[in-house]
Amino acid sequence: MIELRARRVWLRLAEEVVIARARERHAEVIQVELRYGSAVGFGEGAPAARFGETPDETLAYLRDPATSGLVGRDPFALETVSSEFARVAGQRAASAAIDAALHDLVGQLLGQPVWRLYGLTRSAPATAWTVSLADPDAMARAAETAVRSYRRLKLKLGGRDGLDLERVRAVRAITAAPLQVDVNEAWTFEEAGEALAELAALGVDLCEQPLHAGDPHGPALKARSPIPIFVDEDCRTPADVAACRERAHGVNVKLAKCGGIRQALKLVAAARATGLALMLGCTAESSLGTAAACQIASLFDYVDLDGNLKLRRDPWAGLELTDGVQRASGRPGLGVEPAAAPPLEQLGGLYFTRARPLLRRVYHRLREHRP
Ligand SMILES: [Mg+2]
């Protein structure tokens, strides 16, 4: 039998992350541990509030004995397990965590990194660095710092204040680096039509999710857009690809959204078959979550895997970041391991800046993810 354990992990962000619909200073992810004999596989899933998933519900689902039953007894039964979880509504993060842990387990049992098991390479396009939604000057300053380390920027737009194009102009004024924008569903059809022409003139490579998911104007906007439109909130699982083809030139694939590596590979195949371009995305997550995505990054045209790079302290280590490219390691499985414990003075500092109950909560969660 495979023994399943799940825990909630609290991640503090180095800076506040702001997008059109939310602002976050911390994130909560669910990490799972699968024990099979003496081998242990780890995986992570980030519940997406946008799709109605919460850490509480994901954790409760993973601790339900029936979920262990779905994982079964054979760690090599990746396809069976992935298909079973794909039929469970509203548990994409849980599915992604289980799928990642099974891949980690299989890789360790065979002594190979997951990218090698799939016949892939660990090469990847340079990751975009996401610049939070802020006033134009602040975004330009953030971009100026980011381009010292990263080769591509993703600007978060959708301020609903008439300043979105000013934001892009301010950033373009300080860098010639490749730019993409993500509106997170905030524009109307009319706003998007005008903005896309300006974005093309500013040399922006692509625009992500300009309209609300399912907006009936999607196909008309695609027909008139001078730059590629990618959808994210519109595209969750392989079943969404056909509809996305009508409204976009590309799709943003995230493991926590589709349910893991195997579902992502199906999405990739479906998207390629219909001529869609591919972006590999992420959410706020640790290097454990990002490591699963890195295994298949070589299949994508664009990579936006900076979630782990935005943490104040990443509880997992093992990914390589070189010249703006995040790569999986060459070690078996997902190739990451728990990072060293935080220095005591860091915990002491928190004591004086945060209320005591919160410190206790953080401390126990930091302890929790040490195996
Ligand atoms: Mg997006």
If you measure from the C-alpha of residue 181 to the centroid of ligand 1, how many angstroms do you get, rounded to a whole number? 9
Q: How far does the centroid of ligand 1 lie from the alpha carbon of residue 112, in Å?
A: 32
Query: Model confidence over 27-65: pLDDT tens digits?
Result: 999 999 999 999 999 999 999 999 999 999 999 999 999
Q: Do domains 3-113 and 117-337 have the same CATH topology?
A: no
Query: What stretches of the chain show up as alpha helix (H) in DSSP?
Result: 55-63, 65-71, 78-86, 92-110, 114-117, 136-146, 164-172, 189-201, 218-224, 241-247, 255-258, 261-273, 287-294, 344-353, 356-368
Cβ-based neighbours of 119, under 8 Å, separated by 6 or more: none
CATH 3.90.1150.10 fits 117-337, yes or no: no
Q: Does the pLDDT of residue 10 top 70, yes or no?
A: yes
- Mean of pLDDT over the chain: 94
This prediction has a pTM of 0.91
Domain spans in the chain, listed from the N-terminal domain onward: 3-113, 117-337
| pLDDT tops 70 at residue 371 | no
Greatest CA separation for the chain:
59
What pLDDT score was predicted for residue 273?
97
Q: Has residue 23 got a pLDDT over 70?
A: yes
Give me the pLDDT at residue 347, please. 58
Query: If we measure between CA atoms, which residue out of 58, 26, 65, 23 comes closest to residue 44?
Result: 58
Q: What is the residue whose two structure tokens read 């702001």? A: 18
Ligand 1 centroid to Cα of residue 216, in Å, is: 19
**Measured in angstroms, how far is the CA atom of residue 106 from the centroid of ligand 1?**
31
Helix or strand holding residue 205 (H, E): strand 204-208
Nearest in space to 35 (alpha carbons), one of 11, 5, 12: 5
Q: Among 85, 27, 81, which Cα is nearest to 54's? A: 27
Cα(234) to ligand 1 centroid in Å equals 10
Q: What is the CATH number of domain 3-113?
A: 3.30.390.10
User: How many whole angstroms separate alpha carbon 282 and alpha carbon 205?
Assistant: 19
Q: What is the pLDDT of residues 196-253, one digit of tens each?
A: 999 999 999 999 999 999 999 999 999 999 999 999 999 999 999 999 999 999 999 9
322 CA to middle of ligand 1, Å?
24
Q: What is the pLDDT of residue 364?
A: 72
Query: Residue 24 is which amino acid?
Result: E
How many whole angstroms separate alpha carbon 114 and alpha carbon 329? Answer: 10
pLDDT tens, position by position, 267-325: 999 999 999 999 999 999 999 999 999 999 999 999 999 999 999 999 999 999 999 99
